[in-house]
Amino acid sequence: MGTPDFSVPTLRALHDAGHAIVAVYSQPPRPAGRRGLELVPSPVAREAERLGIPVRTPVSLKSAEEHEAFRALDADVAVVVAYGLILPPAILEAPRFGCLNGHASLLPRWRGAAPIQRAIMAGDRETGTMVMQMERGLDTGPVALTARLAIGADETAGELHDRLSEATAELIAEAVDALESLSFTPQSEEGVCYAHKIDKSETRIDWTLPAREVHDRIRGLAPFPGAWTEAQGERVKLLRSTFGEGQGEPGTILDGDLLVACGEGAVRLVAVQRAGGKPVAAHEFLRGARLGVGDRLD
């Protein structure tokens, strides 16, 4: 049970290990294309179809009909990775070994929808992925397996997403191989925090913040939805940054390689994207935008 690109390696790992996958559940096709008129299956649904596995895409799992259809699969276990739908008790209790969830954080830190982005935005130096037994609460179940990953100083959410996706696939495969002997440990009651969905109001950079917070926000929102600023009234997405040395009025460009002053310290913008344009290096952007030392980003 999964939907986005993040979940695809797990499906492949289970298939390659020779497990009998009786069905794949994924969210329904979504409008896509330039006009949004074409309905496109999710990445997981497309991979399942490629592998010849039956795909189900219910809008909800709340109905008695869906409960009965799920029970009729007679599955030993349900593997859930970024599915995106709430599993009612009737679904959670149907498989012989319940529902195993692969979650990309070191629980109980960053329960919820956006654990990868939130970990980077908070300046965490370590994250990981866990296999837990699902229960009615949001990411509250006991944990069986854990893999820990260091977060690079300039690593973006996109880069960490890809590493965690592969780590989750490996951990899930290990868990399913050892299904009958897994032991579970309850989560700690301390350190609980929630990874709420990213709100649009969080994506505009406030240059009065310290350089550390600005840098963490830029990389935590890259590549999607993307942090942004305004340059001469034009919206510019900030895709990659690193720390630099300098001081000045927040938002001021301090050199010819896009070093920007923050409330404390400075951040060097490495890659940016103008509205309707493609990602470019800092020096290309400065040349095209006709910006220079002393100009301001807002």
Is 106 one of the annotated binding-site residues? yes
Residue of 149, 153, 152, 143 lying closest to 127 (CA atoms) = 149
23, exposed or middle or buried, with CB in 10 Å at 0-12, 13-18, 19+?
A: middle
Is 225 annotated for ligand binding? Answer: no
State yes or no: 241 annotated in a binding site.
Answer: no
Nearest to 6 by CA among 166, 221, 228, 182: 166
Task: Report residue 97 as tokens.
Answer: 């070994």
Residues sharing a CB contact under 8 Å with residue 246, sequence separation 6 or more, in sequence order? 254, 255, 259, 261, 265, 266
CA atoms of 100 and 135, how far apart (whole Å): 10
- 206 touches 251 (CB < 8 A): no
**How far is 214 from 209, CA to CA, in rounded Å?**
6
Q: In sequence order, what are the residues at sequence separation of 6 or more whose Cβ sits closer than 8 angstroms to the Cβ of residue 174?
A: 131, 145
| 209 annotated as belonging to a binding site for a ligand | no
Residues that constitute the known binding site? 105-108
Residues that constitute the known binding site for (6S)-5,6,7,8-tetrahydrofolate? 105-108
